[in-house]
Structure 1
Amino acid sequence: MTQKEGSSLLASLGAAFNLQFSLLRSNSNNVASKQHPLLQEFENRLSDSLDSLKPACEEKGYLSIHWLLQAMSVVLATHINVEALISESQLTLCLQRDDKWLNEYLDDSAKLLDVCNVLKEGISEVEQYQMSVQRALHNLDNREISCEFKYSRARNSLSECKEAINRKDTVYRQGFPKSKLENCSSMLRNMGEKLVNPKGLEAIRGNGFLNAIYGAKVTTIFLCGLLVTALTCKPKRPLSSLSVASHYKWSPSLISLQQRVKEDTDKRKNKGSIALLRELDSVDASVRRLHGILDQYLSGRAFPLSQEQAQELALDVDELRKHSSDLGQGLTPLEGHVNELFRMLIASRLALLDIISSSRT
């Protein structure tokens, strides 16, 4: 995705707004009865994008890094498609100083900027956890020191990994103040509950442009909420479901996707998964298993290891290395997607604030 493509869903609003500032007149009823072709195309694309996330889970599962990367790509593409809807159709909108949707958009975009910052911190925490895992693997590969000493150092690094996960879990289970991720989840939940579907004259202004804004908001709140949940350990509250207007073409796709993700995550939580991010959960399971084995060998001073013990240990180390590699490879592009969304939202706000300033002069 180029920087030009990702300029934002409102970055080209200036040209559209400056074409003509007017109220819809007598032809508004005709517009309402027939949806603008480009809006139809937007809804088709959004519906297809949401549907594409269902088969994408088959290999890695919901809330895997692979799936979340695709989900965030849907968010970014949806914003770009709204921008294209404006620039290609040169929609005529009415911009007034007291427009409710403008205030709502500015308020929601500010909250989504906060969400992006929390997501980046959450990803950074996982990266720090990943560094501890890599230190353990490095110690296990070190052939310059004795087995007992390198295994002791590896066990210490694995203990750090366990403690990091347990600390996050403790924050949620023992009455400590809410973490940033939990606060972020609550904010997204409140945003979803306050979403208002455009109705009446508002729904037909700009040939239905506000309907596209509504679709972009719903998609962003839902999929960013899933990423927040994936980065959270032992979330207290179950996944929430957005209540959306049923007349949009993409509505059934979103409702079906919500249900499938919720069923999948509920099953995993019932099985005792600490981390809902699948790769992190796999690494955590391998860390705990390998730590237990090393602790047993070190406590029993079982050195030198028998050939069978050495082979079993090597298999566990290889499994941890694989899971850690899967986790590490996905974190950088995932953070890149969050940064791209942040840039889009900033550009949107600057463009819109500039338009409002120009309209008041």
Structure 2
Amino acid sequence: IHSMESPNGSTGQEIELEAFQRQVAERFRDLAPSDSDDLLSIPWIRKLLDTFLCCQEDFRVIVFENKSQLNKPPMDKYITDYFERSLKALDVCNAIRDGIERIRQWQKQLEIVLCALDSQRTIGEGQFRRAKKALIDLAIGMLDEKESSSSVAHRNRSFVRNNAQRELRSLSHFRSLSWSVSRTWSAARQIHAIASNLVAPKTNEIISTNRLNVAVFTMSHVLLFVVWALVAAIPCQDRGLQIHLSVTKQFVWADPILSLHERILDESKKRDRRNSCGLLKEIHGIEKCARHMNELTDSVHFPLTMQKEAEVKERVQELALVHKAIKDG
């Protein structure tokens, strides 16, 4: 029943609902990148959102065509629960919007570094001081909001110049004031609320609703996974990622969604990603390039040797590639 494999003589509604589940499965299979580096990149996130919108549109058509059944039990509860989950997802989207704005601010800091260390002209001490200040501001912006100032400084000592740590301690509290969500709001709790009581429909309810509740269950899981993936990728307040997707592989779309869920969790467990403010590939690129630039600027003495200047220009080119990826995204 759960796999929606209809026998011969299926009604038009059964065929439509079966097709919906197959389409969801195919779309999420298409999201599995052949190259692991593409996972959680900006293009992948765009594709994820496109997938969600396509699924949502198909679901909207199903709901519209079956309006007469939505006020009858148990469908009334299924559809009400879905709308409540959608409202919770909108709250998460507000926090995600803040995270995207953060990334835009980091992009501006990258632009300052790139302008200061423009490879088309001779690099002087003034340009280096300007680049160093931008790198410090970038480091401050990427601090994890939840951490206390002392633990933040400890966690990011490899990322931030030692002589900037006092400034980091005094400014680390500033970040939380700019979020549009309250200080007690938690993305992790919100996702757990979306996942709460999301269980597979019972056989008798599947029969009584002509399988319409399976479509709601399917779309609820699509919503849950997409919101969870966005929180994993984008800076967000209290980004706890440990959530259990309670769905069996009897559903045709379960395997591709569970596979993506597992791959993202594996990514979050990598040593260089555990303390990241977001798993977005481009954020990792910013952290890596900025760390290299910080290490380089600490070792620079003027006048620059030809070897050191060549090294600076190489690092600037790496930073330019990351900046372009964010700008184009």
TM-score bracket for this pair, using the shorter chain length: 0.7 to 0.9
SS where residue 211 of structure 2 aligns? helix
SS where residue 117 of structure 2 aligns? helix
Q: Does 1:122 align with 2:99?
A: yes
Task: Answer whether contact 1:158 1:291 (CA < 8 A) is retained.
Answer: yes
Residues 146, 62 of structure 1: CA spacing in aligned structure 2 closer, same or farther, 3 A cutoff? Answer: closer
Q: 2:23 aligns with which of 27, 45, 50?
A: 45
Residues 34, 143 of structure 1: CA spacing in aligned structure 2 closer, same or farther, 3 A cutoff? Answer: closer
Q: Does 1:321 align with 2:320?
A: yes
Cα RMSD for the two superposed structures: 3.6
Q: 2:259 aligns with which of 252, 256, 260?
A: 256
Residues 283, 187 of structure 1: CA spacing in aligned structure 2 closer, same or farther, 3 A cutoff? Answer: same
Residue identity in the other structure for 1:322 = L
The 5-angstrom pairing of residues 1-361 of structure 1 reads 36-54=14-32, 56=33, 58=35, 60-86=37-63, 92-96=68-72, 99-141=76-118, 147-168=124-145, 170=147, 183-200=186-203, 202-204=205-207, 207-232=210-235, 237-268=240-271, 273=276, 275-297=278-300, 302-330=301-329
Residues 227, 329 of structure 1: CA spacing in aligned structure 2 closer, same or farther, 3 A cutoff? Answer: same
Residue 203 of structure 1, CA deviation: 2.6
SS where residue 143 of structure 2 aligns? helix
Task: Answer whether contact 2:144 2:277 (CA < 8 A) is retained.
Answer: no
Name whichever of 126-135 and 180-189 sits farther off: 180-189
The separation in 2 between residues aligned to 1:311 and 1:135, in whole angstroms, is 20
CA offsets, 1:92-149, max 9 Å, x none? 5141599322432332222111111111111111111111111121222297897110
Please give the TM-score of this superposition, normalised by the length of structure 2: 0.77
* Percent of residue pairs bearing the same amino acid type: 23
The separation in 2 between residues aligned to 1:234 and 1:168, in whole angstroms, is 7
The separation in 2 between residues aligned to 1:233 and 1:313, in whole angstroms, is 33
Please give the TM-score of this superposition, normalised by the length of structure 1: 0.70
Name whichever of 190-199 and 106-115 sits farther off: 190-199
Task: Answer whether contact 2:286 2:319 (CA < 8 A) is retained.
Answer: yes
CA offsets, 1:340-360, max 9 Å, x none? xxxxxxxxxxxxxxxxxxxxx
Q: What is the total number of aligned residue pairs between the two structures?
A: 295
Task: Answer whether contact 2:117 2:123 (CA < 8 A) is retained.
Answer: no
The separation in 2 between residues aligned to 1:309 and 1:142, in whole angstroms, is 13
Residues 63, 74 of structure 1: CA spacing in aligned structure 2 closer, same or farther, 3 A cutoff? Answer: same
SS where residue 322 of structure 1 aligns? helix
Task: Answer whether contact 2:206 2:213 (CA < 8 A) is retained.
Answer: yes
